[in-house]
Amino acid sequence: MENTRRDFIKKLTTGSAAVAFGGIGLGFSAKSYARIVGSNETVRVALMGCNGRGSFLARAFTQQKNTEVHYVCDVDTKAIQKGLAAIKKAGGTNDPIAEGDFRKALADKNVDALAIAAPDHWHAPATIMGCQAGKHVYVEKPLSHNPNEGEMAVAAARKYKRIVQMGSQRRSWPVLTQGIQELHNGVIGKVHMAKAWYTNNRGSIGKGELTSPPEGFNYDLWQGPAPRRPFRSNLIHYNWHWFWHWGTGEALNNGTHEIDVIRWGLKADYPLLVNSTGGRFHFQDDWETPDTQLITYNCPDNVTVLWEGRSCNGRLVEGADRGVIFYGENGSMSTGGNSYTIYDQKNKIIKEIKSDAVIDGRNTASPSEGLDAIHVTNFIDSIRESKVPNADVEVGHKSTLWVQLGNIAQRVGHTLKIDQRNGHILNDPAANKFWSRQYEPGWAPKV
């Protein structure tokens, strides 16, 4: 049901629009809004990052009802042109403001929301800055570069009473949602194990040369909160994923999605123990993060969780390039995108629900543009209706944390013990060195 501006303000001031999630209030008041967004008013979005995933977001937001991309922001002038072209192709009727520094968009009171598709090291700092500027935030996964940033992003969303949605698009996929509900209803009984995987055939990134940044590329702002390092020829616009300084490896680049589905299915907050094995095996180049990795989680209630990542070996698992399987006492359930199949203990299919959507699990821009756009719709609806989004910042933080813990276990070379109260690492000084990071002076995020 649509509300008028007056009705919406009334709800805010009477407190009926306040909701709670995970014990943390997400309350709103008329004062907390720099600009109240009515159901029939245009939601204006500033896009940060226009390459790859950013171009998808440009199209997705443009195609939302009463929504426009008001700013197109990128440190690369060529990328800005990609964003503008994507908006035009999607049928945008406004003329977005092209801006090299997204902070100028945050200063514009006409902007309601910030959509972040910048590199991982910018995700949490930009989210925090967006909340502080009074903007709602849609941030692509992973929520953060390190666990401390994730906690800060949650704190910022709550402190400034902003809606923050992480790009765990599967949380909005309708058929998968139905499957998770069946799992919760006990269709395969108690779940004892869940397995997730991601496969690809990525090539070598070679040995980069130290050189000057390309013309029209603001490398200083691209690095932002990260301590300064010389520019190298094999860094942009995608290979930064494989450098610990800026990226988070395949585990967070893709594993976040499947681990989030597992957490959702298990209703799990934190694992008890985390271990990881693997490494960079396939090529001798500058790639630092694992291209082969197996993360194992011991979880409460006698549940084991596995994530298998193979960046450079495309052999399918269960006939799929990526996916999740839940193993229960009465059978199993597999999910391959927006679909699910239920098997009995003798491997006989007892139910199969498919979607017409075509999903390319290895597409780096959008595995399924139509399905992913539903998640953007949920974000816009959450702004209009003052409700918790499907992948609220706290949900995003916990799912991101699981794979961050896997990477930390990989880097220290031993099993981590996890505090069930907050997901922190217990009694492990070596591992806790990776809980946060060093920042460029003057760039450290603060809530």
Q: Computed over its alpha carbons, how large is the radius of gyration of the chain?
A: 21
Rounded-to-integer distance, Cα 234 and Cα 243, Å: 11
pLDDT at 434 over 90: yes
Give the CATH number of the domain where residue 324 resides: 3.30.360.10
Question: Considering only CA atoms, which of 392, 374, 380 is closest in space to residue 19?
Answer: 392
pLDDT digit string (tens) for 265-298? 999 999 999 999 999 999 999 999 999 999 999 9
Share of the chain above pLDDT 90, in %: 85
pLDDT at 81 over 60: yes
Same domain, 164 and 178: no
Same domain, 35 and 160: yes
pLDDT for the residue numbered 12: 32
Determine the average pLDDT of the residues in 120-140: 98
442 falls within a domain: no
pLDDT for the residue numbered 52: 85
Rounded-to-integer distance, Cα 436 and Cα 151, Å: 10
Same domain, 40 and 181: no
Same domain, 144 and 275: no
Same domain, 305 and 413: yes
Which segment of 88-92, 193-197, 259-263 scores lowest on mean pLDDT?
88-92
Same domain, 100 and 247: no
Q: Work out the pLDDT band at 360, boundaries 50, 70, 90.
A: low
Exposed (0-12), middle (13-18) or buried (19+): which is 2, by Cβ within 10 Å?
A: exposed
pLDDT for the residue numbered 286: 98
Domain that holds residue 315: 174-206+220-362+397-432
Q: Work out the pLDDT band at 372, boundaries 50, 70, 90.
A: confident
Determine the average pLDDT of the residues in 374-385: 96
Same domain, 257 and 353: yes
Q: Is the Cβ–Cβ distance between 165 and 382 less than 8 Å?
A: yes
Half-sphere exposure of 83 (CA within 13 A, CB side): 35
Same domain, 194 and 147: no
Report the mean per-residue pLDDT for the chain.
90
Question: Considering only CA atoms, which of 269, 255, 242 is closest in space to residue 170?
Answer: 255
Determine the average pLDDT of the residues in 415-431: 98
Determine the average pLDDT of the residues in 244-260: 97
Same domain, 156 and 53: yes
Strands (DSSP E) along 246-373, which ranges?
273-279, 292-299, 303-310, 322-328, 331-335, 340-343, 349-353
Determine the average pLDDT of the residues in 401-422: 98
Rounded-to-integer distance, Cα 252 and Cα 405, Å: 10
Rounded to two decimals, the pTM is 0.90
Residue 265 tokens, joined: 């299915």
Give the CATH number of the domain where residue 121 resides: 3.40.50.720
Same domain, 42 and 116: yes
Same domain, 244 and 264: yes
pLDDT at 238 over 60: yes
Residue 174 tokens, joined: 């309708």
